[in-house]
Each structure stands twice: as C-alpha cells, then as structure tokens.
Structure 1
Amino acid sequence: MRKILVPTDFSANALNALEYAIALFKYDISEFFIMHAYRDDIYAKELNVTRDTLTEVTNMVANKSKEQLDIILAHVNKMSPNPRHTYKVVSSNNILVDEADKIVDKENIDIIVMGTRGFTNDRNITFGSHTLQVFKYVQCPVLVIPENYKYKKPKHILFPTNYLIPYKRRELKLLCEMACPYRALIDMLYISASGVLSVRQKDNRNFIKTELRKNDLNFKTVKSKNIPVTINNYVEDNNIDMLVMVNNKHTVLEDLIVQSTIDKMSLFLNIPFLVLQNVNRESL
C-alpha cells in the first residue's frame, strides 16, 4: 500500500496539491493522511492571546481545524470515490515540519505531496518557508505542486544527476512505480563541462538502469557550467511534465533550495518537482 502525507493550510494551493496526488496515484492502493498542524495559527492571534485565554484560543483553533479537515474529506470523497483510496485526517497542535516528521516515522510514509506555497503566496519566491523546511528536515521524498498547476499525466520526466550519489533503492522504486502506469519517458540528464564519466559514476548509472528497468530511460549529456539554467531550458524545450532531483549534501539541489540562490538563478518551476532525500529508511 502506498502511504501519502498531504499537509494543508486550507489554501487553494494546498487543495490543488491534494487533488493532484489523488489523480497521480489513482492506480495505486493508497492511504492518504491529510494533515493540518495549527500551532502557528494559535500564535498568529497573539494580540488576542493571554495566559488566561490561551486554552480558549487553542480550543477554538483546534475545532476550526477539525471542521475544515472534515470539509476537505467530504470534498475528496465526492470528487474521487476511488475504491483503492482511503483517507485519514490529522489535526495537531504542532508546527508543520515537526508533525510531518512525526507522521513520516510513525506511518512509514512513502511520499509527501504539498503546494509550493500556502496562504502567504509570495509570488517573488519559488518555495514557501514551510516547503523549504520539509525539503531540508523531513527524511522522505517530497513532491511539490505549483500554484494553479492542473493535473496532466506525467509522460515525460526529467531527472538531472551527476551520478556521484549512491542512490537509495526505495526512492528509485518509488519513482519507477510512479512512472510505470503512465509509460513515462525518464530523461537522465548529466550536465558537465567535460561530459566524461568516472568509474564511480558509471557504476551509479548502471544501478539506476537496474532499478528503473521497468521504465523507458533516455540518457542524455549536456556540456554546460550553468546547471540551473540548463535544467530550466531543458524543461521548457522538451515539454517536461515533472522534474526529479536528489537532495543530498554537496549536491546542486542543496544550493538550489536556499531561497536567495533560487531567486538569483531564476529556476522558477511551473511543473511538479519531486525531491528524493537519499536517506536510509525502512524498505517498501
């Protein structure tokens, strides 16, 4: 069974991410955990909160959270009455990143799906602060969906890599099983000034071939020093439906998820972005 965590702040972006996840995994027996962590909502009302009223405000926010989750649950059951899918709602007096981390460990979550931004929706940034925190601190693959992105089958997937990382079997299996139902083509893009692979890189590439053997793979090499611009151009020129990258120390993604760097490099994504975390977790 696929286990999917979908955090929500009840924004249109969060609902859109949930609807995308339901459509993407329509062929899988899946359990969705729709989670709202509301501690920030309590202290957002800090001008009205005192020690004497904290309990009252907390109860008010908690009740509102549960009511809104019930509305979402009714919506998804009506929108997609898929017998393969079951839904659980989680309302928690916690901050989002901590609650996500807790549920990932407790339920052995396979993937987190969330919007790029929530209610703050600052159009001058690519990822909101909560999304960045989940990228950096929760040890689970994260699929982020851009604002207003309408679901389309992921037929063409881009996976830029330097082949230096010893990839995790569980995460490659997730990608394989996401792509298979759609007969997606996965472009493995190696961006390098020289274009030459070391023995280590060749071994890692062969491991990818083995783990993604059920998929159609297209191994590409582009000679370039400007990796973000090359990725952006490739996405636009090849009608890419989903971008996949690995978050690991000393990788390009580690630099890209620092917000100021993203903005400077102009990697503004308008397609779903799957971030693999390259961590050891319990096998599927």
Structure 2
Amino acid sequence: MQKILIPTDFSENAWNAIDYAMQLFRNKKCTFYLLNTYTPVIPSSRFMAKMIDGVRIVDAVRNSSEEGLQKTVDRIKSKFRNTKHSFETFSSFNLLVEEVKDLVDQHKIDLVITGTKGASGIDEVFMGSNTVRIIKSIKKCPVLAIPQHFDFITPTEIAFATDFNRFYTASELNPLLELANMFQATIRIVHVQYGIKALSELQQFNLNMLRRYLNGTEHYVHTVSELHSVSQTLEMFSEELDIHLLALLNYQHSYMEKMTREPIVKRTAFHTQIPLLVIPELGMDGTSNKPEEKEKEKAVSR
C-alpha cells in the first residue's frame, strides 16, 4: 500500500478521511494522490452568464479546485510534518467515479480511501452514494471507507466477515494481512448464519485454506446468528468485541453485496460506525478473478 488515492471535496468529512490516512500510514513511506473533481454547469443559453468578473466559469471552478487542493496539502504538512509522505494533486473536470477509476489504472493505485456520510445520508444509501459507487466500480484495489465522525484508533482488532462459500486468493487477502502485520492486529473471522448449523464440506475447506493464509497472524473464528439483517449483526459484533476495522470481500452474493441491497429500514443501524475495508474480487495476479484462475490457485494450494 504505497500509492494511496484520496478523493476530497474539501469538506470536514473528507478531511477526516485524510486525517485517518495520515495516522494509519504514519510509519510507512508512501505517496498520497489527492483528487478533486468538478463539473461546472456549462452555459447553453445567451441569457446565462458565461463570465464571472471577466473569468470564464469553467476556469474559475478549475482555479478554485486547484487552490483547494494546495491548501489541503499545506494543511496536511503543517499538522503531520511526515517526511515519509509525498503528495500529488489532481484537479479534474470529470465525474468522480470515472476519474477515480482512471487514476487507479494510470498510477497503479494500491488503496482508495474515502470519507462516508453519517446518518443524514441514510436516505440515499447506507454509506453515501459516492462511496458505494466507488466500491462497486473499483475492481483493481481495495477501498477504505472512513465514517464521518470517526476518530483514529490504531486498528489492533480487525474483523473479516465471510460465509466461507468462496475460495480466497492470496492477492485478495494481502491488504488484510498487510494491515494486520503493520499493527500486530488480531483478525477475527466472523461468519453470520441464519440459524447455526455445521459448515458444509466446501465451507470447511475454504475455512481451512483461509487459516493457512493467516498462519503467523493471531486470528479467531466467530460464528454468530443473524439479527434482523447482516448489517445489524456485524454492527453488534463490532460493538461487542470493540472492533476497530471491518473487512469484507466484494463479490456476487457476498455480505457486502447483501448489505448494499438490504432495504433501508434493515440497515439503519449500520452506517459505517467503524472504518470499512472493501476488497474487490481478484485473481492470483491481482486481476479480475476468472473461474479458470480460481481452479489453478486451488491446484497450487493443495
């Protein structure tokens, strides 16, 4: 995780995500890419103003974006004074999600960190529409969503939610292991069941392989009964065990997909009270995980 992209709209919500990132990676040499996107209204009528004090609207908005990014970098350097961190800024006339995807590809970004809305955004989606769009669109690196009012806590307790129905590749587990190793954290594998029952043969195999990957990292397996919804169950689990970060893999039929599809009334209890690390579905080489790649990895692991 040496190249980290942080979108910002210059709000305190976005600053909180930046603040968290600076503290999370305080002992690691890395480059932060700060992104601000803007989409000014282009006048299409002779009755609409094209200029503001002699400056074209598009130019004025771009200048404001570039100045905002420079002020953000200055604020970071003034507060943290970390010589291990370097910064690049990007001001783009583009839609946020499209620009994030482009920068991830162009600069081989290792991690995207974004702020999330609080409870006020619950009528849209449970983490804010932009955050969910980024999570659904980014397929090549993890996304770390930081709650609006979350104060940094060193993540020594990390939960990894899984149903064991899927084989995990090393590239998918690397972000989780890297964070755990950085902070000597305990990983708590949490399996949410609708009615407690024994694991199937496939689930047991996937659990055994997961534990092999985690060999050398302190970890425990927790099986919990579903309470009303997956999101509420994970919320309660995180509170009871004082979890500092929740990790999920995002694939078809995963917990992450279920939570984004839950009716709003079911997920009101879960608006990312703690940081959420969402890992995309990857193959052995870090690319989109195709069936044939999965079979190859199974054969190698046996």
Deviations 1:127-160 (A, max 9, x none): 1111111011111311111112111101111111
- The residue that corresponds to 1:247 in the other structure is 250
Q: Is the 8 A contact 1:173 1:211 kept in 2?
A: no
Matched, 1:122 2:121: yes
SS at match of 1:257: helix
- The residue that corresponds to 1:97 in the other structure is 97
Q: Which amino acid aligns with 2:215?
A: R
Structure 2 residue ranges without an equivalent (≥5) = 288-302
The alignment's C-alpha RMSD in Å is: 2.8
Residues 1:36 and 1:280: Cα distance change in structure 2 (over 3 Å): farther
- Give how far 1:275 is off: 0.9
- The residue that corresponds to 1:63 in the other structure is 63
- Give how far 1:47 is off: 9.8
Bigger CA radius of gyration: 2
Residues 1:283 and 1:253: Cα distance change in structure 2 (over 3 Å): closer
Q: Is the 8 A contact 1:108 1:282 kept in 2?
A: no
Aligned counterparts of 2:143 and 2:176: Cα–Cα separation in 1: 12
Aligned counterparts of 1:25 and 1:275: Cα–Cα separation in 2: 18
Provide runs of 4+ in structure 1 moved above 6 Å: 44-49
Aligned length: 280
Residues 1:46 and 1:5: Cα distance change in structure 2 (over 3 Å): farther
Residues 1:12 and 1:46: Cα distance change in structure 2 (over 3 Å): farther
Residues 1:33 and 1:281: Cα distance change in structure 2 (over 3 Å): farther
With normalisation by structure 2, the TM-score equals 0.84
Matches within 5 A, 1:111-260: 111-117=111-117, 122=121, 124=123, 126-139=126-139, 140-192=141-193, 193-224=195-226, 226-258=229-261
Q: Is the 8 A contact 2:8 2:35 kept in 1?
A: yes
- Give how far 1:264 is off: 2.6
Q: Which amino acid aligns with 2:213?
A: E
- Give how far 1:252 is off: 2.5
Aligned counterparts of 1:48 and 1:137: Cα–Cα separation in 2: 38
Q: Is the 8 A contact 2:169 2:282 kept in 1?
A: yes
Aligned counterparts of 1:44 and 1:87: Cα–Cα separation in 2: 31
Aligned counterparts of 2:46 and 2:247: Cα–Cα separation in 1: 44
> Equivalent pairs: percent with the same residue?
29
SS at match of 2:136: helix
Residues 1:6 and 1:46: Cα distance change in structure 2 (over 3 Å): farther
